[in-house]
């Protein structure tokens, strides 16, 4: 090869790449991540030998991931259930982000972890990445989540999620009011091609591989602030990543505080400013600045108990931040619908 067609590659950051250059590099192996037990208080709604129902606070991540190796619900569960450190492959976790995260069915159980520690695992890592977690809530979402405490409970709950027999009720505060006060959104959800961090409602067939079937039912409970906002109840028929947030955006009512899906501070200000007298603009600014998460709360959860077979139902009221915003919006006008 002629000397003029090859350039020596340097290690300088400022080195510019040109057409025809050959670049050799070594990529380090992905290192295993570890989930350490942490003494994090849990708001336990119910617990027996088989299941644990917790009220997850907003801003808590459910399971460890790159950038969130500690302070997660899994870390708290490991401590609560007296389980030692869990090690897992980052490669396995990263491979789940695009696919498995779209499903309610999680592969992690306390029993699977214990089995792997006894030599029953298929590799050197514990097979339990998220001990007992059979469904998820977004970091910013507060509310009820059920955890399986043994293999039988996990299998039983996972089957209920697959059959869509789990009852899940969410409430949200939305920007504006939907044109239909009671409705069903049946639009597939997939990764947003313009922003891979978020999901998007993608109308059309689901056999293209770009999106998966998703359906949500909603009803407006209360019209707030003269129609500038609404208290909306959601019931999930499927459990796709960011399903409510993506469907709410699709029908034109992004959640208050959801900067990723359109419920930005700017939109909230534009909707509410006409409702606030000039002397109260300070209160409006305080309300908007206090929105640090999407206003979404998992209000109720119902399932068949994996051991007794009885239908069990749990509920928990929204936390203070949600309740405070709702109270301020009601002060600007409230019309009950359902």
Respond yes or no: is residue 138 known to be catalytic.
Answer: yes
Catalytic residue among 43, 102, 104, 138: 138
> Do 284 and 273 meet the contact criterion of CB atoms below 8 Å apart?
yes
Give CA–CA dist 238/216, Å, rounded: 7
- Cα 292-100-47 angle, rounded to 5 deg: 70
Q: With the CA atoms of 180, 246, 71 and 98 taken in that order, what torsion angle do they form, in degrees rounded to the nearest 10?
A: 150
- In Å, the largest CA–CA distance within the chain is 80
Non-local (6+) Cβ contacts of 271 within 8 A are: 175, 176, 225, 228, 229
**How many helices (DSSP H) and strands (DSSP E) are in the chain?**
8, 14
For residues 68 and 59, the answer to whether their CB atoms sit within 8 Å is no
Q: Name the token pair of 245.
A: 């947030």
Cβ neighbour number for residue 207 with a 10 Å cutoff: 9
Give the C-alpha separation, 322 to 334, whole Å.
16
- The structure tokens listed for 212 are 């998966």
DSSP classification of residue 103: S
Half-sphere exposure in the Cβ direction for 232 (13 Å, CA): 35
Q: Tokens 């915003």 appear where? A: 325
Q: How many angstroms separate the CA atoms of 99 and 104, rounded?
A: 11
Helix axes 265-272, 281-289, angle to 10 degrees: 150
What gap in Å lies between CA 65 and CA 73, rounded to an integer? 12
- Which residues are part of the catalytic machinery? 138
């Amino acid at each position: 090869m002629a000397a003029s067609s090859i350039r020596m590659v340097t290690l300088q950051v400022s080195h510019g790449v040109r057409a025809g250059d050959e670049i050799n590099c070594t990529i380090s192996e992905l290192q295993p991540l570890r989930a350490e037990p942490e003494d994090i208080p849990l708001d336990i709604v119910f617990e027996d030998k088989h299941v644990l129902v917790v009220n997850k606070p907003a801003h808590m991540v459910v399971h460890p991931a790159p950038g969130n190796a500690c302070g997660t619900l899994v870390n708290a569960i490991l401590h609560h259930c007296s389980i030692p450190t869990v090690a897992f492959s980052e490669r396995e976790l990263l491979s789940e982000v695009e696919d498995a995260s779209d499903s309610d069915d999680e592969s992690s159980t306390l029993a699977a972890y214990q089995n792997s520690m006894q030599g029953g695992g298929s590799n050197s890592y514990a097979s339990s990445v998220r001990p007992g977690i059979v469904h998820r809530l977004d970091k910013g979402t507060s509310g009820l989540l059920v955890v399986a405490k043994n293999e039988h409970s996990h299998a039983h709950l996972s089957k209920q999620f697959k059959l869509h027999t789990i009852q899940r009720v969410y409430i949200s505060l939305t920007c504006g009011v939907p044109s239909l006060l009671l409705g069903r959104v049946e639009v597939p959800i997939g990764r947003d091609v313009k922003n891979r961090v978020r999901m998007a409602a993608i109308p059309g067939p689901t056999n293209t591989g770009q999106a998966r079937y998703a359906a949500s039912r909603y009803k407006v409970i209360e019209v707030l602030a003269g129609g500038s906002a609404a208290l909306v109840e959601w019931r999930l028929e499927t459990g796709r990543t960011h399903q409510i947030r993506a469907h709410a955006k699709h029908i034109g009512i992004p959640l208050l505080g959801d900067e990723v899906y359109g419920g930005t501070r700017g939109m909230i200000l534009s909707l509410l400013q006409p409702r606030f007298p000039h002397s109260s603009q300070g209160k409006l600014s305080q309300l908007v600045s206090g929105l640090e998460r999407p206003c979404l709360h998992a209000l109720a959860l119902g399932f068949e108990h994996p051991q007794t077979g009885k239908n069990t139902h749990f509920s928990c009221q929204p936390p203070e931040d949600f309740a405070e915003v709702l109270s301020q919006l009601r002060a600007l006008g409230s019309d009950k619908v359902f």
